[in-house]
């Protein structure tokens, strides 16, 4: 039997009210869930190297901002911007490298008046100091024992900011450190097979890795220091450096891809002309890589180059 007009209107009205009630219920539930979810710990890392390590330890309980994440960006010449300043002003935990590498972080923290953030300085955590006859090598993320200590400090800082998840942070840090073990074992294997052999570098970036592998840096110090500082290399020093390859004094060139220029390009060309393997490294994470995968690839590439 056909429904009357009044009956159809009544049914439509009831359905509309039910739909509105359903929508309201769903929205209310979402709001309630959002309000019941605890706040994440806001963390700012100077580079995506430390940002990734924080993410491994903090998981979904952290909100991480990495100030330098472009693999084509030279961290030595990085210029911070207002967005960086805003992120630092809200951070509960800050992870910086230190050692003069990322001084802009400390300057911005002071100008942003964020005195409450827990600041983790990797160089200070490392305990490394400058040698009497040289400068501090600040690239401590290539030093796996230091990275393990930094992981512990990150775990402790996150636990202080979020005590309820302290056990999870500690567990994640332990899992992360356990995966550093195979990297140190790879270095020990290189040392056993190639200890005492010479290598060349363009900058001090990989030296902690090569030293742990028992390799000797034969690069003229004046060359690598000038390249790191962005200075020109004298013709005499350049020729001394190039002679490492023509004279077969080194087994590999470890080349920083992020700061190439005419003099480092000549160095790379000389190595290739002499049939000496080139091992490219970077200062920040390549796209699509995490810290452990990146460092595994670096150590494996070094081992492979030396075996040729």
Strand partners, 181: none
As a whole number, the mean pLDDT across the chain is 88
Q: What is the pLDDT of residue 39?
A: 87
pLDDT in tens, 181-198: 999 999 999 999 999 999
Q: In what order do the strands lie in the sheet with 278-281?
A: 216-217, 198-201, 253-256, 278-281
Report how far residue 34's alpha carbon sits from residue 28's, in angstroms, rounded to the nearest whole number: 10
From residue 275, alpha-carbon distances to 54, 139, 245, 263, 269 in Å are 40, 28, 9, 19, 10
From residue 203, alpha-carbon distances to 196, 241, 263 in Å are 20, 13, 12
Angle at alpha carbon of residue 256, lines to 193 and 272, rounded to 5°: 65
Domains of the chain (ranges, CATH numbers): 41-178 (3.40.50.1980), 181-307 (3.40.50.1980)
From residue 147, alpha-carbon distances to 52, 97, 130, 176, 223 in Å are 12, 11, 18, 10, 28
Q: What is the pLDDT of residue 132?
A: 80
Residue pointed to by tokens 């180059």: 305
| Residue 281 host element (H or E) | strand 278-281
Regions of the chain where pLDDT drops below 50: 1-37
pTM of the model: 0.86
Report the relative pairing of strands 216-217 and 198-201 from DSSP bridges.
Answer: parallel
From residue 16, alpha-carbon distances to 19, 20, 29, 30 in Å are 5, 6, 20, 21
């Amino acid at each position: 039997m056909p429904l009357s007009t009044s009956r159809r209107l009544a049914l439509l009205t009831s359905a509309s009210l039910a739909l509105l009630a359903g929508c309201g219920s769903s929205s209310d539930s979402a709001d309630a869930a959002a309000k019941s979810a605890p706040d994440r710990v806001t963390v700012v890392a100077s580079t995506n190297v430390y940002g990734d390590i924080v993410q491994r330890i903090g998981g979904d309980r952290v909100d991480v901002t990495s100030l330098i994440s472009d693999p084509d960006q030279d961290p030595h010449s990085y210029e911070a911007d207002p967005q960086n300043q805003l992120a630092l002003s809200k951070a509960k935990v800050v992870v910086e490298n230190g050692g003069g590498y990322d001084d802009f972080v400390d300057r911005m923290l002071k100008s942003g008046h964020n005195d409450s953030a827990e600041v983790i300085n990797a160089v200070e955590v490392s305990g490394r100091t400058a040698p009497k006859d040289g400068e501090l090598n600040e690239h401590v993320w290539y030093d796996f024992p230091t990275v393990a200590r930094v992981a512990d400090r990150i775990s402790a800082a996150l636990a202080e900011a979020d005590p309820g998840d302290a056990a999870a942070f500690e567990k994640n840090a332990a899992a992360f450190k356990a995966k550093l073990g195979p990297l140190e074992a790879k270095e020990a294997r290189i040392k056993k097979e190639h200890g005492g052999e010479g290598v060349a570098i363009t900058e001090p970036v990989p030296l902690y890795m090569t030293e742990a592998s028992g390799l000797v840096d034969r690069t003229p110090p004046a060359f690598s220091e000038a390249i790191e500082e962005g200075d020109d290399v004298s013709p005499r020093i350049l020729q001394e450096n190039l002679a490492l390859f023509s004279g077969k004094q080194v087994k590999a060139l470890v080349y920083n891809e992020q700061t190439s220029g005419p003099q480092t390009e000549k160095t790379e060309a000389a190595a290739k002309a002499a049939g000496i393997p080139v091992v490219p490294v970077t200062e920040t994470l390549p796209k699509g890589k995490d810290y452990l995968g990146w460092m595994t690839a670096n150590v494996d590439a070094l081992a492979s180059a030396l075996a040729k």
